[in-house]
Each structure stands twice: as C-alpha cells, then as structure tokens.
Amino acid sequence: QQPVQSPQAVILREGEDAVINCSSSKALYSVHWYRQKHGEAPVFLMILLKGGEQKGHDKISASFNEKKQQSSLYLTASQLSYSGTYFCGTEEGNNDMRFGAGTRLTVKP
Amino acid sequence: DAGVIQSPRHEVTEMGQEVTLRCKPISGHDYLFWYRQTMMRGLELLIYFNNNVPIDDSGMPEDRFSAKMPNASFSTLKIQPSEPRDSAVYFCASSHKSGVSNQPQHFGDGTRLSIL
C-alpha cells in the first residue's frame, strides 16, 4: 500500500520553513525519509520507528504518529541545498518499503 | 567503503531484446531491493531478497521480468523481451536489519534504460 504524500510540490525562499506530510491507511512499523536530487539516487535522511519519536539533524527533523499512521518532515530555515524531491517510505513490519509519490521542493535565493 | 554498484549506468536497446541489469550490494548487507522509477508511477518496489532468497516479487510487472541473486554479492534483473514501456531508471538498494530495527537503504546510482 503506497503512502500518500502532501503537498506534491512546494517553492520556498531561502530561510523559509516547510512541512511535508506522509500518511498511510495501514499500521506502520517505521517510516523512512529520503531526498533525491535530479539525476541522482535517493539518499537516506532518517528513520522513525513506531513509538511516536521525533528525530532531527541540522535543521531537518521528523515526527511519527503511529496511531494516526502519519509522519511529517520539517525543514527549518531552508537552504538552497535542500532542493530536491523528498520521499517517505513506509514499512508494515515485513521489511518491504513502499514509497510515496514524492514532494518536489524548490528553494530559491 | 564502496556503496551499491550498478551496471550498466545507461542502456539503450531495441524492443524485443533481452536486457540484464546488475547489482553488487554493500558487503554485509542481507537485504537487496530492486526498484523502478518513472515520472508516471514514481518509485516502485519490484522485488526484494533476504539472504539471497526472494521474499516478495509481487511488484514485478510481468513474466517478462525476472530477478536472481546467486550469491550475497551479486544480483541481476532481467527483462526478456523488452518493450518501450519498460523504459525507466532502475535502482538497486541494500540494507541490513539490526535486531528489530530496520536500517537505511543504500541506493546505487541506477541504470537508465531506454527501449526504442
């Protein structure tokens, strides 16, 4: 079951904040977040396991609400390097990852 | 430390030809995944292996697609015969599971496949 991401695209100015959401109709064991730049492979950002934890590094953080089967990725004080397509990947406990359709983030000077 | 290695990086071939994509996972990783990425369908899981054994191939689109993992350091995805709608970027990824915790998937650079 593919998770649903929103929004599909977002355009920011440098320094602005953004939130990307990921939701599933199935009970989730974990949520992964990846970023893919044009012409490159997806790169891992972080994993959140069930338990409602929040993680972050630098100015990118994420939360996971297992009861609502939702995760959100928070980008604070965005930088030009944050541009790319962000994917959430969800696992239902059997290790097969299903990716959302992606959110294209563009950060402009 | 070498990452996931895929070959070829680009493949252009004519409809009806056999195509073989190759992947070398990161040493020590016991899970290997094959994905297909297109604008229309996004990133789709085709099949994944655990300890060289195929676990779930429900994402393989048709019988024209097959995947093997003869040993821990090599996997192939084969399309025979190929069709123009198979054109996409194919990614291989590997990971390992530490206890109950799932570890990140490391992606190769992908194979850009064009079927004419």
pLDDT at B100 over 80: no
- The rounded distance, in Å, linking the Cα atoms of A14 and A101 is 24
Tell me the C-alpha to C-alpha distance, in Å, between residue B83 and each of B21, B80, B113, B115: 15, 9, 11, 6
How confident is residue B97, by pLDDT bands cut at 50, 70 and 90? confident
Enumerate residue ranges in chain A where pLDDT < 70: 51-55, 94-95
Cβ of residue A9 closer than 8 Å to a chain B Cβ: no
Distance of residue A41 Cα from the nearest chain B Cα, in angstroms? 5
Instruction: Considering only residues B103 and A3, tell me which one the structure prediction assigns the higher pLDDT.
Output: A3
pLDDT number for residue A91: 86
- Residue of B92, B100, B105, B111 to mutate, interface with A, max A Cβ within 10 Å: B105
Mean model confidence pLDDT for chain A: 90
Q: Note the pLDDT tens digit of each residue in B22-75.
A: 999 999 999 999 999 998 888 999 999 999 999 989 899 889 999 999 999 999
Residue B31, judged by CB atoms within 10 A of its CB (0-12, 13-18, 19+), counts as: buried
Reading the block at residue A15, the tokens are 């320094």
Mean model confidence pLDDT for chain B: 93
- The rounded distance, in Å, linking the Cα atoms of A99 and B79 is 23
Contacts of B70 (CB under 8 A, 6+ apart): B52
Distance of residue B83 Cα from the nearest chain A Cα, in angstroms? 23
